[in-house]
Each structure stands twice: as structure tokens, then as C-alpha cells.
């Protein structure tokens, strides 16, 4: 499809429904915008504005990143602006950690559920810096905040400022000084399928997506912004879009003049942290710096034997033998591999599986079943993860594995489980019954 100034294409998002696209690829929080208080400063801006400018050519823009199906566009816009001003002030281009913002910036922002760049800037200020992408890599989903990496203040900022709303002249002056974070309406179908050219809409001014302006220019008499997105290099022009500038509307194309802000940096970054010392496992056992302590023998919750995993901040697998890198945190010991993310969800369903009954003399008193099967009810919207149920299910209030809660069933004609159960596919769910075994203390 061809417009007078831009083209659409069957890109990586062409098979997304409009609802799927809006639910997974945006992330600018409307609630955060509503309660935002403008922070207007008077920083020193460029007075002699060049006719065109591209901060990529000046080495102030990192490679295009991909937020995946996590609504964390706000974090990518914020880190991009900080990366830019850090390069301009210090001469070093350092890719910064969106995952730190997603995991740890929880005062006003809500991780994959959305956020705002102003709050991200304030978080970095309050935290006295932010870690690198290399050290705290992006996962595409929320995790518990890594408090150790939160202390690694590699790049700092001193303040931030908002560009006056609907003031394109001030926005141009800001972009001539450094890359600028902006909010736009990114949910329109034309924006979703954009391929190349100068985007002119249609789009509303209902802001729902955050991007980064990294320059501006003109083509055949039409002015445009150079905008870096966070949908990977397969979208647009290798991850970028040209959006019309001087459109005649005060709010700008897709509301680009309505919500602009950028960080202020005047001081140098702190010196590098000293190399870490040995990792303490217990009073007698240590691992070298950069290694992780993993328990190999535990009794009643107390570890009596340790081994050193040769990876920093690794995930120790439940088989007490293997470990996985922190950026591939899912242990698949059955296939001897580490996974970066959970398998693709399957459709919710009510599943049935055969149940191998204990002999009467081993049945626990008061436990009975009406038949030779039980039902597993999988709630809609559940997240599915492979779990080996063999030798891990206990009666009543015990646990599956170490932490996953499981409601055992007694005094019922069928097993109705109202917890979120995890399977990688329906076939595995149907095989669960084969894992149940008889034991002196009941069923395990």
C-alpha cells in the first residue's frame, strides 16, 4: 500500500490483530500522564539551530532495541535519552538497562503494564545512576528487582525537564541539543504497518506509546522528525520512522509535541566500582568473584554442600546439579538446556488426566475419588510453564517444587484445582496422571 509520502508493508506485525498489537507493543501510561506535574527548567539550549541534524551520525544513539510483548516502551525512550546526553557530555556511548527500570522503578511506573519517562528520569536521579544493558540485560518481562545491580551506578543524570506542551519550536531547539523522549499515538494501523517514507497519519492525539526523537531533516520540501522506535529492526526503516514536522497542528503529528522531556547532565559519572570479592556461600564455603553459589545437598531447608556455578548471578536449577545464566533463567534439565522465556501459551481448557490409585492399605484415611480420573481447570489468561510433577506433589498444603503453591484435594468427588497450573502443551497436561505414585505417606 502506498501513500503520497510513505509506504506500508507486511512487516513483523502484519498478522497481529489490532487488539493484540495495542495490548503488547505500547506501554505509555495514561494514568501516569494524567497525574504528571510538568517539570519545566531553563537549560542551556542550542541557539543556532542547523537545518538538519542526526544524532546517530554523532555517535549518540545506541542500536535499535526490541521491547517484545512487554509494555515497556517508556523505559526504552528514557534510556535512549540518557544514553544520548551521556555521550554528549562524557564522550562515551553506553547502552543502559531497560530491565532495571522495568524491575525496580515501581513508585509510579508499572513495568510491563506501562509507565512514563519523567518518572524513569526521576528514578535514575534518586538511585544515583543506572546500570548497563550488558550487566542487567532486558528479559521482555518483569522480574524481582536485582538489588545488587541496582547499586551499580554506571551513568548518572542530574535533573530532567519537560518541553512546553504543543510548542514545536521549543521541541526543535531541544532536539538540536540532544535526543528527546516523546509520547505519541502509536496504535493506529498505518503506524503498525509503516515501512518507509515520511509518515503523515492518520493518527489521533491519544498518547499511548513512547519513542525517541534523534534528529530532524527535510525531503522534497517536507520537514520531518527522525524517530527511534523500540520494536526491533524489522519494523519501519531498520527500526526508525520519519514523522512529518511543521504539520500545521500545534499538537504535532500523532501528538508528538504534547509530551516531550529529556534528562539534564552536568556532572561526570562515578568512577568504576572496585572488582568484587569472593562470593560467600556459608561460613566455610566461598566461590570466586563472578561465580554463583548453588546448593547440592539440602536437608530440611538447610544446605550442607555447595558448588560454584561459573556464571555471575546465575539461576540454580532444582536438580541441584545444573545452573543457567541469569538472562536464560528457565531450567529445562530434561533437555539439558536453558530457556530465555516461557513457551508459547496454549488456549485455556478443562483437561482430564488418568489417576493411578494407591492400594487401599496405603490410602490416607478420608481420601477418596469417585473415578479413575481427575479434572484440571486451567483459568483463562494463565501463563504456562513446563513443570515436572513427578515426585513433587504432596497432599494438602505442601508445595510443588520449592515455591509454586499447589492446592491438594481431599473429600471431593473430583479434583478441582483453582490454582494456575503450568504446562507447555495439552499433551504434557494429559500425561500428568502418569506421574502420580503411591507412597507410605499417601500420594506423592
State the pLDDT confidence band at 188, using cuts at 50, 70 and 90: very high
Domain C-terminal end among 230, 264, 298: 264
What are the DSSP calls for 351-382, one per residue? EEEE-PPPPGGGSPTT---SSSEEEEE--TT-
Place of cell 510538568: 38
Same domain, 30 and 109: yes
293 is catalytic: no
Interatomic CA distance for residues 423 and 347, integer angstroms: 11
Residue 274 located in a structural domain: no
Interatomic CA distance for residues 213 and 203, integer angstroms: 18
Same domain, 33 and 134: yes
Q: What is the pLDDT of residues 303-347, one digit of tens each?
A: 999 999 988 889 999 898 899 998 788 898 888 889 877 665 544
> The domain spanning residue 93 has which CATH number?
3.90.70.10
| Options 73, 104, 309, 338, the catalytic residue | 73
Residue 269 located in a structural domain: no
Domain C-terminal end among 208, 233, 264: 264
Same domain, 329 and 408: no
Same domain, 332 and 349: no
| Options 86, 146, 229, 257, the catalytic residue | 229
Same domain, 209 and 287: no
Interatomic CA distance for residues 36 and 56, integer angstroms: 30
Q: What is the pLDDT of residues 208-238, one digit of tens each?
A: 999 999 999 999 999 999 999 999 999 999 9
Residues facing residue 259 across a β-bridge: none
Same domain, 419 and 300: no
CA atoms 77, 79, 83, 85: torsion sign = positive
Q: What is the pLDDT of residues 270-288, one digit of tens each?
A: 998 777 788 889 988 999 8
Residues facing residue 181 across a β-bridge: 212, 261
Q: What is the pLDDT of residues 346-385, one digit of tens each?
A: 444 444 333 333 344 333 343 333 333 333 333 333 333 3
Residue 373 located in a structural domain: yes
Contact 295, 314 (CB under 8 A): no
Mean pLDDT of 201-213: 96
Q: What percent of the chain has pLDDT over 90?
A: 55
| Angle made by CA atoms 42, 43, 45, in degrees to the nearest 5 | 115
Omega into 202 within 30° of 0, i.e. cis? yes
Same domain, 234 and 348: no
Interatomic CA distance for residues 230 and 75, integer angstroms: 10
Domain C-terminal end among 339, 355, 377: 339
Residue 240 located in a structural domain: yes
Q: What is the pLDDT of residues 30-86, one digit of tens each?
A: 777 776 777 777 767 777 899 999 999 999 999 999 999 999 999 999 999 999 999
167 is catalytic: no
Same domain, 67 and 152: yes
Residue 204 located in a structural domain: yes
Residue 1 located in a structural domain: no
CA 367 to chain centre: 44
Pairing of strands 180-184, 373-377: unpaired
Q: How many domains does the chain have?
A: 3
| Domain extent for 418 | 344-444
Mean pLDDT of 383-393: 32
244-250-254-260 Cα dihedral, nearest 10 degrees: 100
Same domain, 239 and 352: no
For residue 405, pLDDT over 80 is answered with no
Residue 385 located in a structural domain: yes
| Options 86, 104, 109, 209, the catalytic residue | 209
Same domain, 127 and 260: yes
3-state secondary structure of 275: coil
The x, y and z cell numbers of residue 50, run together, are 542547523
The x, y and z cell numbers of residue 20, run together, are 493484540
86 is catalytic: no
CA 443 to chain centre: 39
Q: What is the CA radius of gyration of the chain?
A: 26
Same domain, 141 and 24: yes
Same domain, 334 and 348: no
Residues facing residue 178 across a β-bridge: none
Amino acid at each position: 500500500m502506498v501513500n503520497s509520502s510513505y509506504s506500508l508493508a507486511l512487516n513483523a506485525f502484519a498478522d497481529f490483530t489490532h487488539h493484540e498489537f495495542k495490548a503488547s507493543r505500547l506501554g505509555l501510561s495514561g494514568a501516569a500522564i494524567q497525574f504528571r506535574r510538568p517539570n519545566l527548567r531553563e537549560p542551556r539550549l542550542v541557539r543556532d539551530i542547523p537545518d538538519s541534524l542526526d544524532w546517530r551520525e554523532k555517535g549518540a544513539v545506541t542500536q535499535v532495541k526490541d521491547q517484545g510483548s512487554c509494555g515497556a516502551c517508556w523505559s526504552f525512550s528514557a534510556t535512549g535519552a540518557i544514553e544520548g546526553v551521556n555521550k554528549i557530555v562524557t564522550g562515551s556511548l553506553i547502552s543502559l538497562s531497560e530491565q532495571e527500570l522495568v524491575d525496580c522503578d515501581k513508585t509510579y511506573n508499572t513495568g510491563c503494564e506501562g509507565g512514563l519517562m519523567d518518572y524513569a528520569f526521576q528514578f535514575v536521579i534518586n538511585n544515583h545512576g543506572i546500570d548497563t544493558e550488558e550487566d542487567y540485560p532486558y528479559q521482555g518481562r518483569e522480574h524481582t528487582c536485582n538489588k545488587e545491580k541496582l547499586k551499580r551506578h554506571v551513568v548518572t543524570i542530574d535533573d530532567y525537564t519537560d518541553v512546553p506542551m504543543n510548542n514545536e519550536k521549543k521541541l526543535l531547539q531541544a532536539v538540536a541539543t540532544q535526543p528527546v523522549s516523546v509520547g505519541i499515538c502509536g496504535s493506529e494501523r498505518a503506524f503498525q504497518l509503516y515501512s518507509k517514507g515520511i509518515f503523515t497519519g492518520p493518527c489521533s492525539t491519544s498518547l499511548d506509546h513512547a519513542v525517541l526523537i534523534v534528529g530532524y531533516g527535510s525531503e522534497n520540501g517536507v520537514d520531518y522528525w527522525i524517530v527511534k522506535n523500540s520494536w526491533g529492526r524489522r519494523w519501519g526503516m531498520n527500526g526508525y520512522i520519519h514523522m512529518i514536522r511543521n504539520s500545521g497542528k500545534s499538537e504535532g503529528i500523532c501528538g508528538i509535541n504534547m509530551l516531550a522531556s529529556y534528562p539534564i547532565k552536568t556532572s561526570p559519572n562515578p568512577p568504576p566500582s572496585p572488582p568484587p570479592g569472593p562470593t560467600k556461600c556459608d561460613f566455610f564455603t566461598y566461590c570466586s568473584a563472578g561465580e554463583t553459589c548453588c546448593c547440592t545437598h539440602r536437608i530440611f531447608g538447610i544446605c550442607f554442600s555447595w558448588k560454584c556455578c561459573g556464571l555471575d548471578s546465575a539461576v540454580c536449577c532444582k536438580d541441584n546439579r545444573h545452573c543457567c545464566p541469569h538472562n536464560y533463567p528457565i531450567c529445562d534439565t530434561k533437555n539439558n538446556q536453558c530457556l530465555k522465556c516461557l513457551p508459547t501459551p496454549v488456549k485455556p481448557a478443562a483437561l482430564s488426566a488418568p489417576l493411578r490409585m494407591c492400594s487401599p492399605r496405603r490410602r490416607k484415611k478420608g481420601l477418596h475419588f469417585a473415578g479413575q480420573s481427575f479434572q484440571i481447570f486451567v483459568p483463562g489468561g494463565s501463563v504456562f510453564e513446563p513443570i515436572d510433577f513427578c515426585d513433587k506433589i504432596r497432599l494438602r498444603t505442601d508445595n510443588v517444587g520449592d515455591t509454586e503453591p499447589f492446592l491438594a484435594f481431599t473429600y471431593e468427588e473430583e479434583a478441582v484445582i483453582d490454582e494456575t497450573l503450568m504446562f507447555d502443551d495439552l499433551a504434557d497436561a494429559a500425561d500428568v496422571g502418569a506421574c502420580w505414585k503411591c507412597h507410605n505417606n499417601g500420594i506423592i
